[in-house]
Amino acid sequence: MGTLNLIRQVLALILAFAGGFLVVGGWIWAPQISKLVQSAFSDGPGVSLFADAKRIGRAETAPVVRSCIFKAVDLGSEAEKMEPSAAYFILKAGSMQANVSAMIGKPDRWSESRTRELAASWGRLANCIYAQEDRELCDPDNRAAAVEATTKFFAYAKQMDGSSGKPAIPASDARVLEGYGDRLLIMLKNHRRYGTLVAADFSSFASPEIMRIMHEEKQSRDICKR
């Protein structure tokens, strides 16, 4: 399957859902419209809409995404001819589809498996981003990518920890996700102290773990100032 066809299928899936929503009776979900719009346009948990424009850039164009996306998402032979931004789009489109499925309350084995895959993919991406030199997050696009990957990882990992009423995932998968989370929290503390990440960089969707660090840890220096 060609790259273009793969992207077209993802878009068709999103458009099909939107069309069905309008035709079959979207009025039933009227109380959820504002939440759906916010989720769709921010693509779920992600970058704050109110962050300083000079601090937060575009994640899809981030150099760290170019370096890390194919380590996070396995696209097989397609990766050889696909632009990193296209691969990032596919990951985000899959995330939006999972958000919509969860919102309309239709979980199934496929969606649970997909949520687990998304948690792992965003976890790999976030860990790869933070493994770069600390000053990389001084770049607005890189910072946006770090914020989005971190926020989405914790959001999807939370859905798989059993507290939401879903069946517990296999122990081996749980350990992998826990390892990603532990490393990310350590790196978040460092970047909060360095001044490369602040609370305003994250949206209200951010998990309590993230915001606790952003509010409790104190900035000791600003490594982005030469």
pLDDT tens-place string over residues 148-195: 999 999 999 988 775 555 556 788 888 999 999 999 999 999 999 999
- Residue 196: pLDDT band (50, 70, 90) is very high
pLDDT for res 226: 67
Average pLDDT over residues 193-207: 92
Question: Between the CA of residue 196 and those of 126, 144, 221, what are the distances in Å?
Answer: 15, 11, 9
Considering the chain, what is the average pLDDT of its residues? 76
| 45-49, 146-150, 208-212, 220-224, range with the lowest pLDDT | 45-49
DSSP secondary structure of 142-157: HHHHHHHHHHHHHHHH
pTM value > 0.85: no
Instruction: Centre a 10 Å sphere on the Cβ of residue 185 and count the other Cβ atoms it contains.
Output: 15
Amino acid (1-letter code) at residue 221? R
Higher pLDDT, residue 22 or 145: 145
pLDDT for res 205: 79
